[in-house]
Amino acid sequence: MPRPIRASINLEALRHNYRIAKARSGSAMALAVVKANAYGHGLERAVRALGDIADGFALLDLAEARLLRDAGVTQPIVLLEGFFEPEDLRQVAELQLRPTVHGEAQLVMLERASLPKPIDVMLKINTGMNRLGFTAAAFPGALARLRALPAVRSITLMTHFAQSDDEVGISGQLAVFKTLAHGSGLPVSLANSAALLRFPEAVGQVVRPGIMLYGSSPMPALQRAEALGLRPVMTLTSEIIGVQELVAGQRVGYGGTFTASGAMRIGVVACGYADGYPRHAPTDTPILVGGRRTRTLGRVSMDMLACDLTHLPDEGVGSPVTLWGERLSADDVATAAGTISYELFCALAPRVPVTEKDG
């Protein structure tokens, strides 16, 4: 039989989460962010599930945008990092994509381009993230140059919040944005998942929900996914493939980082960092065995990890294990491992078989 690890993708949960995002968006266009292979869930799978309800999509790669158009997607597609060389622009126009313009080099490419048809663009303002975007000083000139170009049909102003998921919030960046955008008469795109869920004043005309579509909270320390009505989309499962009985003083795994304080029973799970489970997940990371919550023990290996079965005497070889997903929030696992659910999902290894369910 094949190795028992598998990931299940719940397509109806994905649609459910998008509907929550859309309900929070009011009349705004809600672009489903499907970058990074739909956060590890499968680009084509996610777009197929959302194709009849999503207002549009946002991703990074021109080739992926072409794949969506070839698959029959007619909704707007935004390129969040825009284009990278002049040759890209002809494809952008041909496919009627909406690239982000975030720097001088892209402006120059547009000014020099001869396009078969005009395009819609997203003009990005750096309001404090200090990653991509025109500064407050450079923005007016950039806007004027875009407005002068016959190759540009429409402009949407956008920014990205750096701390919408914590106590700092968006007020400082939003104030900068409003000052710059005032009087422009242009539509705006502001809210990512956290801002959409926490700050209705940031909805604007276009929102960009990402992680919430996949069932995780963008701010788990402030509000859990379940409280937001979100459903997990990816569930990673495996089985116990071995059992060991320990006595006090015996250690578990590479480096012997866990030492039994008394008699213990441990299970060995067919899942390791080569499957995408975080190697840095420490002892006490939550895990479900037979539907009951227990903990990992010791260091995660390439292909296996250990868990505590001491209080689960009926569980043994063949018992089902949930690493994250249904009944075990990926946010809880990520928090224990000192990371975020985004990384868990994106790290799912190609060797893990993926199945779909629709309900």
Q: Please classify residue 263 by burial: count the beta carbons closer than 10 Å to its beta carbon, then call 0-12 exposed, 13-18 middle and 19+ buried.
A: exposed
Spatial CA neighbour of 323 closest among 307, 342, 301: 307
Backbone angles phi, psi at 63, to 5 degrees: -65, -35
Q: Which helix (H) or strand (E) is 172 found in, with range?
A: helix 171-181
The runs of H, that is alpha helices, within 95-148 are 104-112, 139-147
Please give the structure tokens belonging to residue 8: 């299940």
Contacts of 64 (CB under 8 A, 6+ apart): 43
Spatial CA neighbour of 219 closest among 58, 347, 340, 40: 340
Q: Which helix (H) or strand (E) is 356 found in, with range?
A: strand 354-357
DSSP single-letter state for residue 200: G
Q: Is 254 considered catalytic here? A: yes
CA dist 158 → 189, 193, 359 (Å): 5, 15, 35
Q: Which of 35, 39, 273, 277 is an active site residue? A: 35
Q: Is 117 considered catalytic here? A: no
CA dist 327 → 225, 247, 323, 356 (Å): 12, 31, 10, 18
Contact yes or no for 12/190 (Cβ under 8 A): no
Give the number of residues written for the chain.
Answer: 359
Backbone angles phi, psi at 73, to 5 degrees: -70, 125
First to last CA, the chain: 27
Q: Which of 117, 178, 214, 254 is an active site residue? A: 254
Please give the structure tokens belonging to residue 122: 């997203």
Spatial CA neighbour of 341 closest among 170, 168, 219, 167: 219
Residues with a catalytic annotation lie at: 35, 254
